Amino acid sequence: MIRYHHRIEKLTVMTIASAVEDLPKTSRAAVLADFNAPLEIREYPLPTSLAPGALLVRMEAATVCGSDYKLWAGRMGGALPLTLPLIPGHEFAGRIVAFGEGERVDSMGATLELGDRIVFVHSNCGHCDYCTLFHQPALCRDRDMYTFTSSDQPPHLFGGFSEYLHVFPKSGRVRIPDEVSSPIASASSCALRTVVHSFDRLGRLEPWQSMVIQGSGPLGLFATAMAHHAGAGQIIVIGGPDDRLELATEYGATDVVSVADVPDPDARVEAVMELTGGKGSDAVIELCGARTALLEGLQMVRVDGRYVVTGPMDEPGTEVPIRPGYLTGKQVNIMGAWSADISHYWKALEFVRRTAGKYDFSKMTTSQYSLENATDALHRMGTYADIKPVVIP
Q: Which stretch binds Zn ion (CB under 5 A): 36-44, 74-82, 121-129, 289-297?
A: 121-129
| Cβ proximity to Zn ion, 80 vs 131, nearer residue | 131
Nearer to Zn ion, 162 or 210 (CB): 162
Binders of Zn ion in range 135-154 (CB under 5 A):
140
From 116-124, 247-255, 312-320, 327-335, give the range in contact with Zn ion by CB under 5 A.
Answer: 116-124
With the CA atoms of 232, 237, 242 and 246 taken in that order, what torsion angle do they form, in degrees rounded to the nearest 10? 0
Q: Which is nearer to Zn ion, 11 or 65 (CB)?
A: 65
DSSP letters, 334-387, are: EEE--S--HHHHHHHHHHHHHTTTT--GGGG---EE-GGGHHHHHHHHHTTS-S
Residue 237 three-state SS:
strand
Closest Cα partner for 200 from 333, 43, 27, 344? 344
Angstrom distances, CA of residue 145 to CA of 139, 160, 170: 12, 12, 11
- Give alpha helix (H) positions in the chain: 9-13, 66-72, 129-132, 182-187, 193-202, 218-230, 242-250, 265-275, 293-300, 324-330, 342-354, 374-382
User: Does the CA dihedral 309-378-80-130 come out positive or negative?
Assistant: positive
Sign of the C-alpha dihedral computed for residues 7, 13, 19 and 22 taken in this order: positive
Give the full edge-to-edge strand order of the sheet including 234-239.
255-258, 234-239, 210-214, 281-286, 301-309, 333-336
* Least distance in angstroms from the C-beta of 57 to Zn ion: 18
Q: Among 98, 145, 165, 190, which residue sits at the site for Zn ion (rule: CB under 5 A)?
A: 190
CA distance 18 to 20: 7
CB of 306 to Zn ion, least distance (A): 24
Task: Using the minimum distance from each CB to Zn ion, give the nearer residue, 49 or 136.
Answer: 136
- The one among 121, 125, 219, 308 contacting Zn ion by CB under 5 A: 125
- Residue 131 sits in the site that holds Zn ion (CB under 5 A): yes
| Parallel, antiparallel or unpaired: strands 390-391 and 55-63 | antiparallel
Stretch that binds Zn ion, among 34-42, 129-137, 153-161, 355-363 (CB under 5 A): 129-137
Contact segment (CB under 5 A) with Zn ion among 51-59, 62-70, 273-281, 304-312 equals: 62-70
Cα 389 from Cα 393, distance rounded (Å): 13
Q: How many residues bind Zn ion (CB under 5 A)?
A: 8
* Identity of the residue, 97 or 128, whose beta carbon is nearer to Zn ion in the bound complex: 128
Whichever of 283 and 340 has its CB closer to Zn ion, that residue is: 340
Question: Of 82, 84, 128, 392, which one interacts with Zn ion (CB under 5 A)?
Answer: 128
Q: b/e for 53-86, b at 16 or more Cβ within 10 A?
A: bbbbbbbbbbbbbbbbbbbbeeebeebbebeebb
Interface with Zn ion, residue 62, by CB under 5 A: no
254 or 310, CB closer to Zn ion?
A: 310
Q: Does 41 bind Zn ion (CB under 5 A)?
A: no
Least distance to Zn ion, CB of residue 160, Å: 10
67 is an interface residue for Zn ion by CB under 5 A: yes
Write each residue from 283 to 322 as x if it is in contact with Zn ion (CB under 5 A), else as -, in one continuous string. Answer: ----------------------------------------
Spatial separation of the C-alpha atoms in residues 160 and 168, rounded to whole Å: 14
Choice between 67 and 182, CB closer to Zn ion: 67
Q: 11, 32, 50, 65: which one contacts Zn ion (CB under 5 A)? A: 65
Contact region with Zn ion (CB under 5 A), list: 8-16, 75-83, 133-141, 225-233: 133-141
Check residue 281 for interaction with Zn ion (CB under 5 A): no
Is the separation of the CB atoms in 384 and 69 below 8 Å?
Answer: no
Stretch that binds Zn ion, among 21-29, 186-194, 268-276, 295-303 (CB under 5 A): 186-194
| Site membership for Zn ion, residue 80 (CB under 5 A) | no
Residue 298 and residue 320 in contact, taking contact as beta carbons nearer than 8 Å: no
Q: Which is nearer to Zn ion, 76 or 392 (CB)?
A: 76
- Residues of this chain that interact with Zn ion (CB under 5 A) are 65, 67, 124-125, 128, 131, 140, 190
